[in-house]
Amino acid sequence: MFRKSHYIFIILFAAFMLSSQVLHAREVSLAENQILLTKTHGGDGSAWGNSDCLNCHVRRNIHANAPVIKDIVLNVGYASCTGCHGQNGTTIERQCVICHNEQLLPKNPIMQDIKNHNFSINADDALTDAACVSCHDRSDMDGEFEVQVDLTHYQAQNSLDLPYRNQADFCLRCHNQNHQQPGFEMTARFANDPLVSMARNYKFIDMHGNRKGTGQRTYAGLRTSDYQYGTVVDCTDCHAMHGTHNEKLLIDRTDTGAFLLPAALRELPVYIDIQHDNYAQHCVVCHESITDVEATGEDTGNGLSGVHRVAGSCIECHRHGMAVQTGL
DSSP state string for 156-204 = -GGG-----SSHHHHHHTTSSSS-PPTT-----SSTT-HHHHHHHIIII
Residue 128 lies in a domain: yes
Q: What percent of the chain has pLDDT over 70?
A: 88
Q: Which residue has the higher pLDDT, 47 or 213?
A: 47
Distance CA(328)–CA(323), nearest Å, equals 9
- 119 and 177 assigned to the same domain: no
**Other beta carbons within 10 Å of 29:** 19
Distance CA(309)–CA(111), nearest Å, equals 30
Residue 140 lies in a domain: no
- 17 and 85 assigned to the same domain: yes
Sequential DSSP letters for 257-310: S-TTS-HHHHTSPPB---BTTB-HHHHTTTB--SS--TTTTS--SSS----S--
Question: Which band of pLDDT confidence, cut at 50, 70 and 90, is reported for residue 22?
Answer: very low
- 242 and 183 assigned to the same domain: no
- 115 and 157 assigned to the same domain: no
User: Do residues 256 and 240 lie in contact, with contact meaning Cβ atoms separated by under 8 Å?
Assistant: yes
- 68 and 158 assigned to the same domain: no
Q: Which of 135, 168, 185 is the last residue of a domain?
A: 135
Count of domains for the chain? 3
Of 34, 263, 240, the C-alpha closest to 142 is 34
Whether 116 has a pLDDT exceeding 70, the answer reads yes
Of 254, 240, 285, 257, the C-alpha closest to 113 is 240
User: Do residues 310 and 322 lie in contact, with contact meaning Cβ atoms separated by under 8 Å?
Assistant: no
Q: Which residues of 255-277 are buried (b: 16+ CB within 10 A; e: fewer)?
A: bbbbbebeeebbeebbebebeee
Residue 257 lies in a domain: yes
Q: Residue 3: what pLDDT?
A: 56
Average of per-residue pLDDT across 231-257? 96
Residue 232 lies in a domain: yes
Whether 19 has a pLDDT exceeding 50, the answer reads no
Residue 161 lies in a domain: yes
The amino acid at 190:
F
- 11 and 115 assigned to the same domain: yes
Whether 12 has a pLDDT exceeding 60, the answer reads no
- 162 and 261 assigned to the same domain: no
Domain extent at residue 320:
212-328
Q: Residue 198: what pLDDT?
A: 95
- 286 and 328 assigned to the same domain: yes
Q: Residue 139: what pLDDT?
A: 93
Distance CA(104)–CA(141), nearest Å, equals 15
- 27 and 48 assigned to the same domain: yes
- 295 and 193 assigned to the same domain: no
Q: What percent of the chain has pLDDT over 90?
A: 67
Question: Which band of pLDDT confidence, cut at 50, 70 and 90, is reported for residue 46?
Answer: very high
Whether 188 has a pLDDT exceeding 90, the answer reads yes
Residue 295 lies in a domain: yes
Residue 147 lies in a domain: no
- 130 and 6 assigned to the same domain: yes
Find the range with the poorest average confidence among 21-30, 123-132, 164-173, 312-321: 21-30
Q: What is the pLDDT of residues 286-320, one digit of tens each?
A: 999 999 988 899 999 999 999 998 999 998 888 88
Q: Residue 152: what pLDDT?
A: 96
- 6 and 126 assigned to the same domain: yes
